[in-house]
Chains A and B, each alone.
Chain A
Amino acid sequence: MSSVKLEQVYKRYGNVTAVKDLSLEIRDREFMVLVGPSGCGKTTALRMIAGLEEITEGRVRIGEKVVNDIEPRDRDIAMVFQNYALYPHMSVYENMAFGLKLRKMSKAEIEKRVGEAAAQLGITEYLKRKPRELSGGQRQRVALGRAIVREPQVFLMDEPLSNLDAKLRVQTRAELIKLHRRLGITTIYVTHDQVEAMTMGDRMAVMKDGVLQQCDTPMEVYHHPANIFVAGFIGTPSMNFVKAVVADSLDGDLIIDAGSFHFDILESEKKALAEWKGKNVVLGIRPADIYDKNLRNPVDAGPRNTLTAFVDVVEPMGDLCTAYLKIGDVDIVAMLDGATGAKSGEKLQVVVDVSRSHLFDPETEKAIY
């Protein structure tokens, strides 16, 4: 087992910089998720750790060793590819044993390791089959098995679930988490799926345009996003962003004035926000922090957090209901309880949990709180 450290790493392809000044430490036995939209540099970062891409600038360490100039085969890592990359002409057994044979392991040891990994993953009965005779889920297990038998210092996984159907993805996600707990091998997992990032990682690193935006535990990233991008990327549906101004209310209190409505500023934040008086801000409200006033909800309704909305579209999903609301000229998405009486074309009184709202600087896009 080992830690992985990226120190001011850059990757350039001609004039294009795919990864910019990436510094990140993945602790020993940690499950780190690199997440971001397509083209954010997460896979490039992973491939640099694997040794499949040259590092333009900076250093990558596995354990204490700088591995910049070390061949992939000598880095003691194993990787699971998005399309599994199983050798089509080899049987499942041969696929799993290939890396061990190259390491001149004894036949008995190879048989033992492959047998154990196959049993763990439930693929023993497929050992003699060729990859083309397996389903997507089974292939995925073989790819995992090929990584496990090597007992490497670090697992690298490049969107390993993205080719599975929704149900299998959820199931395999849980199995991967269990596998990581059992083996305790440092794992770096790349995905564009924020649900995977939230549910699987001990920590997650959110990337955009080659730049690390935030690295923290999933809950911390969700509740305290570092900037507008992270706030919008993590959470489904996305956080609502509303242009607003920090202003004085009639009774002299600081408020956030969004034009169509206004909110009190939290007591704890008032001091910090004094310097923002009269300045533009971006207010962020998660859809899950908006409630139907007519139902029982965890937030007390008051004059400053109760709003009258026009219901545009309602998407009932059973226990939850996504409602597209219009408050004045502001569009807001709310994730209401399934029992809501919201109907398209009608008005609805909603309560906002102001204590969980966020404020961002519109220029730097960084979080104010």
Chain B
Amino acid sequence: MANSFAVDEDRDAHLSGKKPPPPAVLALRHAVLILISLTTLAPFIWMVLTSFKPLAEVEQLNPIPSVWHPENYAEVFKQVPFAHYYFNSVFIAAWVTFLQVFTSCLAAFAFARLRWPGRDGVFRLYLATLMIPGVVMLIPNYAEMVQLHLFNSYIGLIIPASFTAFGTFMLRQFMLTIPRALDEAAAIDGASPWVVFWDVIMPLARAGVITLAIFSFMGNYGSFLWPLIMIKSEYLRTLPVGMLFFDSVYGRQTNLIMAASVMNILPLIILFVSTQKYLVKGIQLGAVKG
């Protein structure tokens, strides 16, 4: 890593005509970067190591377990229906992701490609909802779900999270970069607005859609507060809520919480590593266009 960094420095220096910094400065820079990386990684390493400790050793400063306890992982499955929580989390996050992407695509298309009176005003209004903190909406959403008899149900968890102003904004910006002549060519070729959306714009907005889907899944998979207040039945609990079992009035089983947490973040790590390219693109898009 240090080498590739140095190569980049050389190339940049060559391109800009500047001299490369002296080795001492380079070493200092690397030291700072390594320190930041360790600070970020430390909690994760601590979490993994703690998940293998016996309960008695959890609060000891020595991070390495004296005896390794991989059975902590099996214990998690014994004490709670952990597989079911897993399914719930993935099932709900997948549905929310699908619906958020679907509604954002349609809204973004309407805001970016269709002409209708008041379009920009409505868009600004929609965007303004980003300013409202999610917690403020908790009680109204809860009351609404109770009135609709959707309390303690999958649908009650999914529906209120299915619309995202952020996603609409991101995809709109993405769609604005697609040349308008393509819609016009398609309209002359005989395409209805739906065909333009589905056959022309959506394939070209694929990278944006994938980025949104990843953001959306990551955001909803770890959702805690909304499932906590919406779910009463044990079999509807999601992973973050389910893990509360290990921290009850009867005591805190920190080693099991850590084992559950490792299993909890595993899908996110796999998702992050496999889709890094799109995430970076999405963040750049927000930076440039936003």
Contacts and interface: CB of A to CB of B under 8 A. Distances in A.
B130 interface: no
Interface string B176-220: 000101101111111110010001100110000000000000000
A85 B178 CA distance: 11
A97 B181 CA distance: 18
A79 B185 contact: yes
Contact of A77 (B181, B188, B191): B188
Nearest to A73: B190
B72 to A, nearest CB: 49
Nearest to B115: A54
A220 interface: no
Contact of A50 (B179, B188, B195): B188
Interface in A76-90: 77-79, 81-83, 85-89
A51 B188 CA distance: 8
A71 interface: yes
B184 A99 contact: no
B184 A98 contact: no
Given A73-B189, A99-B189, A102-B190, A81 B181 contact: yes
A316 interface: no
Contact of B191 (A73, A86, A150): A73
B200 A99 contact: no
A96 B186 CA distance: 11
B203 A72 contact: no
Contacts of B182: 85, 87
B191 A85 contact: no
Contacts of B184: 50, 52, 72, 79, 81, 85
Contacts of B179: 83, 85
Contacts of B187: 51-52, 71-73
A85 B190 contact: no
Contacts of A52: 184, 187-188
A102 B186 CA distance: 10
A103 B204 CA distance: 23
Given A87-B200, A88-B204, A98 B181 contact: no
Contacts of A88: 204
Interface string B158-190: 000000000000000000000101101111111
Interface in A43-94: 50-52, 71-73, 75, 77-79, 81-83, 85-89
Contacts of A71: 187
A262 interface: no
A192 interface: no
B204 A85 contact: no
B188 A102 contact: no
Contact of B195 (A72, A81, A102, A146): A102
Contacts of A98: 186, 189, 191, 199
Contacts of B189: 73, 98-99, 102, 146, 150
A102 B188 CA distance: 11
Contacts of A81: 181, 184-185
A52 B186 CA distance: 11
Contacts of A99: 188-190
Kindly name the residue among B185, B190, B191 whose own CB sees the greatest number of chain A CB atoms within 10 A.
B185
A64 to B, nearest CB: 21
Given A72-B188, A73-B188, A102-B189, A83 B181 contact: yes
A85 B181 contact: yes
Contact of A78 (B186, B188, B191): B188
Contacts of B190: 73, 99, 102-103
B196 to A, nearest CB: 10
Contacts of B204: 88-89
20 contacts: A50-B188, A52-B187, A52-B188, A73-B188, A73-B189, A73-B192, A77-B188, A78-B188, A79-B185, A79-B188, A82-B181, A85-B179, A85-B185, A86-B185, A98-B186, A98-B191, A99-B188, A102-B189, A102-B195, A103-B190
Shortest Cβ-Cβ A-B pairs, 8 listed: A99-B189, A85-B181, A102-B190, A85-B185, A73-B190, A89-B203, A72-B187, A72-B188
Given A73-B189, A73-B191, 13 more contacts: A50-B184, A50-B188, A51-B187, A52-B187, A73-B187, A73-B188, A81-B181, A85-B185, A86-B185, A87-B182, A88-B204, A98-B199, A146-B189
Interface of A: 50-52, 71-73, 75, 77-79, 81-83, 85-89, 98-99, 102-103, 146, 150
